[in-house]
Structure 1
Amino acid sequence: MPYVRHWLRNSVLLFAVAIALGLVAAHTQLIQPHDLDLDRTIQTGTRTGWLNDVMLGVSYLASPVAGVVILAVWTGWLLFVRRTPTRAVATFLVVAVGWNSTQIAKAIVARNRPPRQFSLDPEIGSNSFPSGHTAFTVAVAVAAYFLFRDSRHRTKVAVCGVLAVCLVAFSRMYIGAHYPTDTLGSVLVAGSAILFLTGIWHAWLLPRLHRVPLLDRFGLEREQAALEAARGGHTEPGANGTYGAHGAHSPYGQQGGRRRAAGPQGGRHRRHAGR
């Protein structure tokens, strides 16, 4: 996980912008009519029988139930199969924090859903802003990019992540569950939460992972030794080109290894990792 300069200030500002956007969209007429017009344009101009099924399927793949399954399988694979507990914990936190941060914004903004008569899958309540489905996809895309950001696949992962976010956001507008600003707000809210997490990770969480006895059973000490080797230039790339238990391309590795070596303050001097 990269260390980002000014993470606290930037995360608070980004969240404030998201909330301001949501309040204006929900409680004034500056955005609401345009949001509704764009929703109706998408629905009347693109809806067909087969595409309805596709968009509903895409939406279900990012639903709360599917999201929990995806997160459990992904982090379980990193922990039990790859034996990389640092990556497993970091991935779980990025997705969980980025996804669930929307609940705070939903409670503050309290925006009603689009009119139900235009929805293929009606949802009720004052919880339209931001879109939880879109926020989940944003968090998954960011977590995947963090895993591959030091590998040759980082550009492909970034492009696929952006396309996935756009597809899910479009599906939520297509089926009539959200307004366009709801999906934009998801990117801002999830982004602010993940940005905040990067600071907490380096300042408090990463230096304390060794205090969790369970992680030692899954190779935490070996993983940290590999990180130290990577930091010292003695590397052994994994077979798939990314960091494994003995690899050189750790998305959290250099930060993690240096943190352990340099002590509690070491992470603050590795600011280049976030660039």
Structure 2
Amino acid sequence: MPHVRHWPRLSVLLFLAAIALGLVAAHTSLIQPHDLAADRTIQTDTRTGWLNSVMLGVSYVASPVGGLVMLALWCGWLLFVRHRPVSAVSTFLVVAVGWNASEIGKLVVARNRPPAVYSLDPEIGSNSFPSGHVAFTVSAVTAAYFLARGSHRQRPVGVAAVVIVAVIAFSRLYIGAHYPTDVLGSVLISGAAILCLTGLWHAWLLPRLHLVPYLALFGPVPGPAVVAGGERHVEPVA
């Protein structure tokens, strides 16, 4: 994971910005009419039979079930095939923390879902903000980017990350499950959580990773002397 200066301040500011956006969007008339109009424009102007199936499939990939399967396979591959235990742990944490941070936003903001009458896959409840699907996607592509840092894959992975997030976000608007501010809120709140994690990782988690039982059986794990000496642990890029 990268070292981020001023991570406590930045993560708090991003989190507060996300919550403020959600509360204004959900409980005032400043944003809601524009959100609904944007949803209806997308649904009216772009929906067609074959694209409906594609967008539903794309959305399912980032669903809770799809996300858990992908995370398990990814971390298992890093651990058992690539023998990169530090990368496996850091990838799991980035995805899990960034993804589950959306649940805090859902509880605090309590925004109702868009009208079910316009939805291809109706969902009800007050858990619209932020989008969990987009939060998972942001977290997963961020984890992939962290793994690619410093290699020739860094730039293409970064470009692919932006495209993937945009596609998943569009699919959630297309099928009528979220408002535009819901997907924007996911980027902010997951970004805040991951920023906080990067600071905790270097300050507390990585120096203690060698204490995890049996982790070193799968590959190299830096000891406290290496971390305390200021050396950045680097595993080979997958």
Q: State how far apart, in whole Å, the 2-side matches of 1:212 and 1:175 are.
A: 43
Alignment of structure 1 residues 22-101 onto 2, 5 Å: 22-101=22-101
Match of 2:162 in 1: 162
Change (3 A) 1:262 1:108: closer
> Does the CA contact (< 8 Å) of 2:128 and 2:178 recur in 1?
yes
Q: Tell me the CA shift for residue 261 of structure 1.
A: 2.4
Match of 1:142 in 2: 142
TM-superposition CA deviations, 1:82-135 (whole Å, max 9, x none) = 001000000000000000100001000000000000000000100000000001
Amino acid at match of 1:217: L
> Does the CA contact (< 8 Å) of 2:206 and 2:227 recur in 1?
no
- 1:201 maps to 2:192: no
Alignment of structure 1 residues 96-107 onto 2, 5 Å: 96-107=96-107
- 1:122 maps to 2:122: yes
Over the aligned positions, Cα root-mean-square deviation in angstroms equals 1.3
Q: Tell me the CA shift for residue 262 of structure 1.
A: 5.3
Amino acid at match of 2:197: L
Q: Tell me the CA shift for residue 219 of structure 1.
A: 1.6
Name structure 1 gaps, 5 residues minimum.
225-256, 271-275
Q: State how far apart, in whole Å, the 2-side matches of 1:128 and 1:52 are.
A: 21
Q: State how far apart, in whole Å, the 2-side matches of 1:156 and 1:94 are.
A: 20
Match of 1:15 in 2: 15
Q: Tell me the CA shift for residue 59 of structure 1.
A: 0.2
**SS of 2:214 mapped into structure 1:** helix
**SS of 2:200 mapped into structure 1:** helix
Q: Tell me the CA shift for residue 208 of structure 1.
A: 0.4
Amino acid at match of 2:212: V
Q: State how far apart, in whole Å, the 1-side matches of 2:7 and 2:151 are.
A: 24
Match of 1:131 in 2: 131
> Does the CA contact (< 8 Å) of 2:110 and 2:127 recur in 1?
yes
Q: State how far apart, in whole Å, the 2-side matches of 1:2 and 1:29 are.
A: 40
Q: Which runs of 4+ in 1 moved over 3 A?
A: none
Structure number with higher relative contact order (C-alpha < 8 Å, ≥ 6 residues apart): 2
- Identity of paired residues, percent? 69
Aligned length: 232
**SS of 1:213 mapped into structure 2:** coil
> Does the CA contact (< 8 Å) of 1:210 and 1:220 recur in 2?
no
Amino acid at match of 1:261: V
Q: Which protein shows a greater Rg?
A: 1
TM-superposition CA deviations, 1:162-213 (whole Å, max 9, x none) = 0000000000000000000000000000000000000110111000010012
TM-superposition CA deviations, 1:206-257 (whole Å, max 9, x none) = 0001001220111234xx4xxxxxxxxxxxxxxxxxxxxxxxxxxxxxxxx8
> Does the CA contact (< 8 Å) of 2:11 and 2:195 recur in 1?
yes
**TM value normalised by structure 1:** 0.82
Q: State how far apart, in whole Å, the 2-side matches of 1:14 and 1:207 are.
A: 27
Q: State how far apart, in whole Å, the 1-side matches of 2:7 and 2:173 are.
A: 31
Amino acid at match of 1:97: V
Amino acid at match of 1:14: L
Amino acid at match of 1:219: G
Q: State how far apart, in whole Å, the 2-side matches of 1:102 and 1:174 are.
A: 20
> Does the CA contact (< 8 Å) of 2:207 and 2:227 recur in 1?
no
Change (3 A) 1:71 1:262: closer
Q: State how far apart, in whole Å, the 2-side matches of 1:90 and 1:106 are.
A: 25
Amino acid at match of 2:52: N
Name structure 2 gaps, 5 residues minimum.
233-238
**SS of 1:217 mapped into structure 2:** helix
Match of 1:171 in 2: 171
Q: State how far apart, in whole Å, the 2-side matches of 1:199 and 1:66 are.
A: 29
